[in-house]
Copies of this chain bind each other. A is one copy, B any other.
Amino acid sequence: MHLTKEDIKELEKRKRLNIINSITGIKPANLIGTVSEDNVSNLAIFSSIVHLGSNPALLGFIVRPTGEVPRNTYENILANGCYTINHVNESFIKNAHYTSAKFDKDISEFDRCGLTDEYLYDFKAPFVKESSVKIGMKYCESIPIERNGTILVIGEVEHLILPDETVNKKGYIDLEKAQVAGISGLNSYYSLEKITSFPYVRLEEVPEFKNN
């Protein structure tokens, strides 16, 4: 199948959404936890969390234009300055997926979708108790992407909580052991099976490949 830019433009809207949301490959499935000024816990699923740097430890994610679902999340982050990123485990993908429904601002998606908010280490935003990997984030800045009205939201890691047995000596997290899920498009979930790890590649160690 070959689609040009023009073919993509002419696709039925829902089909275009599905295919273009799928073309980057597997995406991380994360829940962002926040709390409103009225003290209502909020939880929303995001698949756009991206690593920006390790020192300082910075992560970004993309907020869609006003009017779409996860906007409560962004408002809470701006008001409060703190948020959490929690991995979606295979065991609760259905609960996590339901957070994408458009709940009113005074409804907690934790309660409504059967997940548990927990406040740890005096951090000002709720973690997801059921998640194996939880990150407490401090909001840094918003970078507008004017081309399509989206925003890159940048935060710094303040707390990192994860099960000892999923981290090896080198610092790698085993996502299969942590039973973390991946997402494709808007609503397909995948389980992860570790194939292999390679060492850092030094130029002199690259073998001669026979080109096929």
- Asked if B23 and A160 make an inter-chain contact with CB atoms under 8 angstroms apart, the answer reads yes
Partner of A51, one of B21, B113, B170: B21
- Asked if B114 and A173 make an inter-chain contact with CB atoms under 8 angstroms apart, the answer reads no
- Interface size counted on chain A using CB atoms at 8 A: 120
- Asked if A148 and B53 make an inter-chain contact with CB atoms under 8 angstroms apart, the answer reads yes
Task: For the complex formed, measure the closest distance between the CB of A192 and the CB atoms of chain B, giving whole angstroms.
Answer: 4
Residues of B within 8 Å of A152, CB to CB, are 143, 145, 152
Contact digits for A140-173, partner B, Cβ 8 Å, 1 yes 0 no: 1101010110101010111111111001001111
- Asked if A206 and B112 make an inter-chain contact with CB atoms under 8 angstroms apart, the answer reads yes
- Asked if A52 and B62 make an inter-chain contact with CB atoms under 8 angstroms apart, the answer reads yes
Partner of A172, one of B19, B93, B143: B19
Q: Does A106 contact B (CB under 8 A)?
A: no
A25 and B52 in contact, given A157-B20, A206-B113, A212-B116 (Cβ under 8 angstroms): no
- Asked if B194 and A188 make an inter-chain contact with CB atoms under 8 angstroms apart, the answer reads yes
Residues of B within 8 Å of A140, CB to CB, are 147
Q: Does A133 contact B (CB under 8 A)?
A: yes
Which residue of chain B has the shortest Cβ distance to A165 in the bound complex? B1
Q: Which residues of A are interface residues toward B (Cβ below 8 A)?
A: 1-5, 8-9, 11, 13-30, 47-60, 62, 85, 87, 90, 93-95, 97-98, 100-103, 110-116, 121, 130, 133, 135, 140-141, 143, 145, 147-148, 150, 152, 154, 156-164, 167, 170-176, 180-182, 184-203, 205-207, 209-212
